[in-house]
């Protein structure tokens, strides 16, 4: 059993491993191959884009006139919707199926990519085809877990929203924030925060520890979770400290990424090229989590020895 778990000791080992893979010697082709694996491993992650608020031409000249025009607008819209109900539902269902299929495909590709990237980091290689084929069962198992986890997460969010509706409706009907409504809003915000926190913790443990265990054992995602959870329970304090320290590392990585974008005139913001340019950061973080996991048991040391 481990005696001393540190969140800072793995930094030096991860730094040395990153230099070994990417700079000793420097090979541009190797960078592009590993960068490709890192890029597809990140497909399907969180993301979004901002935008300006839409403009609706001339503003309403008078509140009463505005209300009448708005009501007439919604009435016309409802009439059009009812008249074209079949077409709207059919097109909406088709768009939903296409978007859902694309999302599932992205999750599947990224799950395969996680093992490709991990394999190249562990073995100090620049392979694409070999790990893509070799870790097909593990990639499919990870895909299934991520899909189920996403569905459960959305279901939990809808439940939180349903529990939060009565206080909001009561405040709207009373046209004031009643004490009971304020309490309900507080609990709704708290539940939403806990939901976000749970998603972050499970996602971090999945990528940083469960995937390496799957890679090591060549097992399913659920079997890897069964092996990892006793460690997480026995060393809850150490893993909590790891999560906090990783936030600090994430801030530092983010600042370095922003600096790279400035120095490269935003070339580092281009999806694939950005991953290649920022590859040392990705390899370092992958090596850091592997080095941290290795402290719990010698079998978990995937970066052991001078020769990968």
In a domain, residue 133? The reply is yes
| DSSP code string of 73-111 | HHHHHHHHHHHTHHHHHHHHHHHHHHHHHHHHHHHHHHH
What is the extent of the structural domain holding 90? Answer: 9-43+73-300
The pair phi, psi for residue 223, each rounded to 5°, is: -65, -40
In a domain, residue 137? The reply is yes
In a domain, residue 286? The reply is yes
In a domain, residue 104? The reply is yes
Reading the chain (308 residues) residue by residue, the pLDDT tens digits are 556 899 999 999 999 999 999 998 999 999 999 999 999 999 866 433 344 444 444 444 454 555 566 667 777 777 776 777 788 788 888 999 999 999 999 999 999 999 999 999 999 999 999 999 999 999 999 999 999 999 998 888 888 777 777 666 666 666 655 565 666 677 778 888 888 999 999 999 999 999 999 999 999 999 999 999 999 999 999 999 999 999 999 999 999 999 998 988 888 888 899 999 999 999 999 999 999 999 999 999 999 854 44
Neighbours of 256 (CB within 10 A): 14
Spatial separation of the C-alpha atoms in residues 157 and 196, rounded to whole Å:
9
In a domain, residue 176? The reply is yes
Neighbours of 28 (CB within 10 A): 8
3-state class (DSSP) for residue 69 = helix
- Please tell me the total count of domains within the chain: 1
The pair phi, psi for residue 266, each rounded to 5°, is: 70, 10
Q: What DSSP character marks residue 54?
A: P
Residues 6 or more apart whose Cβ sits within 8 Å of residue 179 = none
């Amino acid at each position: 059993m481990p005696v001393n778990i540190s969140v800072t000791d793995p930094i030096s080992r991860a730094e040395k491993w990153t230099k070994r893979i990417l700079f000793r010697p420097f090979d541009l082709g190797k960078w592009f191959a590993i960068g490709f694996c890192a890029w597809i491993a990140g497909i399907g992650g969180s993301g979004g884009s901002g935008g300006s608020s839409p403009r609706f031409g001339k503003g309403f000249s008078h509140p009463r006139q505005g209300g009448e025009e708005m009501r007439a607008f919604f009435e016309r819209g409802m009439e059009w919707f009812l008249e074209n109900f079949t077409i709207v539902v059919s097109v909406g269902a088709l768009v939903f199926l296409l978007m859902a299929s694309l999302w599932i495909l992205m999750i599947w590709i990224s799950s395969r990519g996680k093992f490709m990237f991990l394999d190249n980091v562990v073995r100090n290689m620049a392979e694409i085809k070999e790990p893509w084929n070799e870790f097909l069962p593990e990639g499919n198992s990870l895909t299934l877990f991520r899909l189920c986890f996403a569905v459960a997460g959305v279901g939990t969010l809808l439940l939180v929203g349903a529990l939060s509706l009565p206080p909001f409706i009561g405040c709207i009907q009373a046209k004031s924030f009643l004490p009971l409504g304020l309490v309900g809003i507080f609990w709704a915000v708290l539940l939403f925060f806990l939901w976000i926190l749970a998603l972050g913790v499970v996602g971090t443990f999945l990528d940083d520890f469960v995937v390496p265990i799957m890679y090591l054992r060549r097992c399913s995602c659920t079997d890897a979770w069964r092996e990892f959870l006793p460690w997480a329970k026995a060393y809850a304090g150490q893993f909590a400290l790891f999560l906090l320290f990783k936030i600090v590392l994430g801030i530092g990585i983010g600042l370095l990424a922003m600096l790279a974008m400035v120095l490269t005139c935003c070339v580092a913001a281009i999806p694939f090229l950005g991953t290649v340019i920022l590859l040392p950061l990705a390899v370092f973080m992958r090596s850091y989590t592997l080095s941290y996991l290795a402290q719990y048991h010698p079998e978990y040391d995937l970066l052991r020895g001078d020769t990968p």
